[in-house]
Amino acid sequence: MIYRRVALIGLGLIASSMAHAMRAGGLAGEIVGTAKSAETRATAKALFCDRVTDTAAEAVQGADLVVLCVPVGAMAALAEEIGPHLAPGATVTDVGSVKQAVIAAVAPHIPADVHFIPGHPLAGTEHSGPKAGFASLFQNRWWLLTPPDDADPAAVARLRSLLEAMGANVDTMDAPHHDLVLAVTSHTPHLIAYTMVGVADDLRRVTDSEVIRYSAAGFRDFTRIAASDPTMWRDVFLTNKDATLDILGRFTEELFALQRAIRLGDGDHLHAYFTRTRAIRRGIIEAGQDTDAPDFGRVMAPVKGG
């Protein structure tokens, strides 16, 4: 047991996966949860919480670890609500996809005798909600922490030991760097996937059924990303605005260069570009961050009538 009582605020994919992983590993004495929706609380009570409370203020009482698992845009109000109820010596962390905005929203409400160690698990699926969680979600995934310079080393080490016990690899960095790296590896790719799916949806010359039917040629990978939680992603783009716009600018520059090569029939430019990008894929597989099985090792349904 690493924490005596863990309070999970917001009970979606990440919180439910954490609860399953903590239960599987015997890492928490008691897991208390809360969420705005009564239905979500009931699901959590049935599936993975020892106890649920109606409010966040109640949930955090006596907890030595509090995990904020709400959308980034809801962090400020939540922090204001729980601030006065946090136990001295407790650790507060979060799982938000941006870090500078979360720190600005949360830190002012955290008492001096409570440790605030912001975090971000690079794990998730396109499914959301309390039924989507599973214990192995964090296995071999990175969990980034952005502790302030004056963070208590013992509190950081304790949180790290919990995350590692759930299967994660833990790394620390400063918050601005986190937000830039994630703009490249996550936020901009998501925006692009959303855009491509929106374009396909818009095209009246190509019927919906054709886009769906023939999606296996590449498009379907984009739709998985673009099926992620809308509220979470709205908040990501609103709160990591500068880094996302910066990387988007780079993206459109490159895209225009390739578009020009297509228009001019410059095959050498295209071939050289497409060859260079192959190497990155190899790096990701060698780093254990994706499977080398063809097509992600998808298992497809049996043949159906055409």
Residues 120-139 that bind a copy of itself (CB under 8 A): 122-127, 132, 134, 139
Q: Does 200 contact a copy of itself by CB under 8 A?
A: yes
**How many residues sit close enough to a copy of itself to count as binding (CB under 8 A)?**
121
For residue 25 the two structure tokens come to 């590993």
CB 138 within 8 A of CB 17: yes
What CA–CA distances, in Å, run from 270 to 157, 261, 264, 273, 296? 48, 7, 11, 5, 25
Distance from C-alpha of 101 to C-alpha of 143, rounded to nearest angstrom: 18
Q: How far apart are CA 237 and CA 234, in angstroms?
A: 5
Q: Where are the alpha helices (DSSP H) in the chain?
A: 13-25, 38-47, 56-59, 75-82, 100-106, 153-165, 175-182, 188-202, 208-213, 219-225, 230-239, 241-264, 267-286
- For residue 190, the minimal CB distance to a copy of itself (Å) is 5
- Ranges within 28-67 binding a copy of itself (CB under 8 A): none
Stretch near a copy of itself under the rule CB under 8 A, chosen from 2-10, 102-110, 146-154, 251-259:
251-259
Of how many residues is the chain composed? 306
Measured from the CB atom, is 24 or 248 closer to a copy of itself?
248
At closest approach, how far in Å is the CB of 268 from a copy of itself?
9
- Main-chain dihedrals φ then ψ at residue 3, nearest 5 degrees: -125, 145
Report whether 40 contacts 101 (CB < 8 A): no
99: contact with a copy of itself by CB under 8 A: no
Site stretch for a copy of itself (CB under 8 A), options 2-10, 23-31, 100-108, 195-203: 195-203
Q: Give the binding range for a copy of itself (CB under 8 A) out of 28-36, 48-56, 106-114, 278-286.
A: 278-286
Q: Does 108 bind a copy of itself (CB under 8 A)?
A: no
- Give, as ranges, the residues between 163 and 192 that touch a copy of itself (CB under 8 A): 164, 167, 169-171, 180-182, 184-192
287 touches a copy of itself (CB under 8 A): yes
Q: Which stretch binds a copy of itself (CB under 8 A): 18-26, 78-86, 103-111, 277-285?
A: 277-285
**244 near a copy of itself, judged by CB under 8 A:** yes
For the chain, first and last CA: distance in Å? 54
